[in-house]
Chains A and B, each alone.
Chain A
Amino acid sequence: MEPNQNPYLVLALLAGAAAGFALTPLLAAWAWARFFSPPKPGQDKNDTYECGLKSSGDAWIHFRSEYYLYGIIFLVFDVETIFLLPFAVSFTGLPVGAFVAMIIFLVLLVEGLVWAWRKGFLNWR
């Protein structure tokens, strides 16, 4: 290679070739479908449900949001532990920044715990 050439030129060429390698079959398939294979949409084919039964209702329905409490509890008792263990192991050698970041993380999650507690979510029913 000439010394005045950009050393990243090869990378750019390879990236272009890789993109072409991936895009050419997609474009060919699209062109084939566009010019030779007529689309045949229909009522059954565009239905939401696909088990042979007649679709009833709409897919755009209201989902209840109570699940967020399970999400919070999972973060508090499961994900937090994953970070707490290495935090405890390397506690003595941590710089101040890492300590503060970890405390912020803990405070955020404890806030969630307090929220779930006050909601009565931790009571055994």
Chain B
Amino acid sequence: MLESTAMIDEGLKSELQKQGVYVTSLQELYNWGRANSVWPLTFGLACCAIEMMAASMSRFDLARFGAEVFRPSPRQADLMIVAGTVTKKMAPLVVRLYNQMPEPKYVIAMGACAISGGPFKQGYNVLKGIDRYLPVDVAIPGCPPRPEALIHAIMTLQEKIRNQALTGPNRPRHLNADIEGEYPVPAYGQNDLEPPKNSEVWQPPPIQR
């Protein structure tokens, strides 16, 4: 029943729609509701957060896209927007906040720093991308990305949620008991975070010389 999208032909569906008969599946309905009720966590790390605030204010008005309910507690949020430079001192806190969010949870890495360390990549104290510890759903390039880019990222995430199959190996993480709810929180080591990366979510690309 959940997979009934495949059962009905797309052409037939649009023909029926022209006659005023709307056909849907439980999966589409469920994902439609899920995609339009994303609650981000109020949480900014650096200058990208200013753009995130702008995106939620009247000029850009994130509310038009159904993701404006910024929550100050991870218990009530399901989208983490990593907005800004993640220093190595901050990384364990970010991972812990992610662990405290209820399922299903998504991560948007906003800006060059959150993706890769950005202009501070050579710095000793900056994490070279939050994807070393967390499974990132959408990455936004830019330094900082404009509010439109954040809106686009949220729409991309909504698109991703809407097309997710509820059964099968790629089903959403909250329906899959095998996916761990918590990721290991790195500890402060003598020179670097320990471990420096979570190999389950991040494999470095092979170096080609």
List A residues at the B interface (Cβ < 8 Å). Answer: 36-38, 40-45, 47, 50-54
Contacts and interface: CB of A to CB of B under 8 A. Distances in A.
Given A37-B174, A37-B175, A50 B182 contact: no
Contacts of B102: 45
B175 A36 contact: yes
Contacts of B96: 44, 52-54
Given A42-B182, A45-B182, A50 B103 contact: no
A50 B181 contact: no
Nearest to B185: A44
Given A50-B74, A50-B75, A41 B181 contact: yes
What 7 A-B pairs come out closest when comparing CB atoms? A40-B181, A52-B93, A44-B99, A38-B177, A42-B182, A52-B97, A52-B96
B100 A43 contact: no
Q: Which of A41, A42, A45, A53 has the most CB of B within 10 A?
A: A45
28 contacts: A36-B175, A37-B103, A37-B174, A37-B175, A38-B176, A38-B177, A40-B103, A40-B181, A40-B182, A42-B181, A43-B182, A44-B96, A44-B182, A45-B99, A45-B102, A45-B181, A45-B182, A47-B100, A50-B73, A50-B74, A50-B97, A51-B93, A51-B97, A52-B92, A52-B93, A52-B96, A53-B93, A54-B96
Contacts of A51: 93, 97
A50 B94 CA distance: 11
Contact of B100 (A36, A37, A38, A50): A50
A65 B160 CA distance: 53
Contacts of B74: 50
Q: Which of B75, B96, B99, B175 has the most CB of A within 10 A?
A: B96
Contacts of A40: 103, 174, 177, 180-182
Contacts of A37: 103, 174-175
B32 to A, nearest CB: 15
A54 B185 CA distance: 10
Contacts of B92: 52
Interface string B73-100: 1110000000000000000111011011
